[in-house]
């Protein structure tokens, strides 16, 4: 009888423990989906053309628990803010803890996007966050490569002055930043853009 009661007690403990584990798992799943909803709410707000940055900031504050709850197919929120030229939103996302190292599906993180859009203010903030200035995307393209290709002199100058490697080889074009600068200058037809490309080339030498 005592042996029976012992095994019965063990069974009850196991059953209750199992229910607790299931409950814990359910809570984790529920928490994940809540954070995921938070992320999607912020993402939608950033990409809404007619929404003021003040309103976006309110939405970020309400949903900041989900700032980095992205999948491999999502665009990081910092990238989205840079694409939309929403600098105040970018600043707030960083303040709220958004990870600038988060990448999109092809390896673009905030440092590459900021360089592509010639956003020196964003680059300054990212450098303060100790982000790798020589991070390369899936195509072995760095922020400096992208700044050179896009003709972004201010971004290129900032990156070089903060330690960007000029000799890194672009994975697709098989050229370093200096060679890319020369090629882009030779192919540029716009007179104003040619001036910036000339300055970029001088910067590389």
Q: How far apart are CA 56 and CA 77, in angstroms?
A: 12
Lowest mean pLDDT among 13-17, 53-57, 122-126, 140-144: 13-17
Q: Evaluate if residue 82 carries a pLDDT over 70.
A: yes
In sequence order, which ranges of the chain are alpha helices (DSSP H)? 2-47, 53-63, 77-83, 87-95, 110-116, 120-128, 143-150, 153-161, 177-187, 191-204
pLDDT (tens digit per residue) in 1-27: 545 544 444 454 444 455 444 443 444
Mean pLDDT of 121-138: 97
Task: Retrieve residue 101's tokens.
Answer: 């190292």
Q: Model-level pTM? A: 0.83
pLDDT band at 202 (very low <50, low <70, confident <90, very high): very high
Domains of the chain: 1-99 (no CATH), 110-205 (1.25.40.20)
Highest mean pLDDT out of 19-23, 68-72, 103-107: 103-107
Q: How far apart are CA 176 and CA 135, in angstroms?
A: 15
Q: How far apart are CA 161 and CA 114, in angstroms?
A: 16
CB half-sphere exposure, 145, CA atoms < 13 A: 20
Tell me what pLDDT residue 1 has.
Answer: 55
């Amino acid at each position: 009888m005592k042996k029976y009661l012992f095994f019965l007690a063990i069974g009850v403990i196991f059953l209750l423990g199992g229910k607790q584990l299931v409950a814990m798992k359910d809570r984790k799943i529920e928490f994940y989906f809540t954070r995921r909803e938070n992320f999607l709410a912020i993402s939608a707000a950033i990409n809404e053309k007619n929404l003021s940055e003040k309103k976006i900031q309110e939405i970020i504050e309400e949903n900041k628990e989900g700032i980095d709850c992205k999948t491999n197919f999502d665009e990081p929120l910092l990238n989205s803010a840079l694409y939309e030229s929403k600098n105040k939103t970018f600043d707030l996302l960083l303040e709220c803890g958004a990870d600038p190292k988060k990448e999109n599906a092809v390896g673009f993180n905030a440092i590459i996007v900021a360089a592509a859009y010639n956003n020196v203010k964003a680059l300054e903030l990212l450098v303060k966050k100790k982000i790798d200035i020589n991070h390369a995307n899936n195509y072995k393209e760095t922020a400096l490569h992208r700044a050179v290709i896009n003709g972004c002199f201010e971004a290129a100058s900032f990156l070089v002055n903060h330690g960007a490697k000029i000799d890194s080889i672009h994975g697709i074009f098989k050229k370093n930043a200096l060679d890319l600068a020369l090629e882009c200058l030779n192919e540029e037809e716009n007179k104003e853009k040619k001036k910036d490309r000339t300055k970029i080339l001088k910067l590389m030498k």
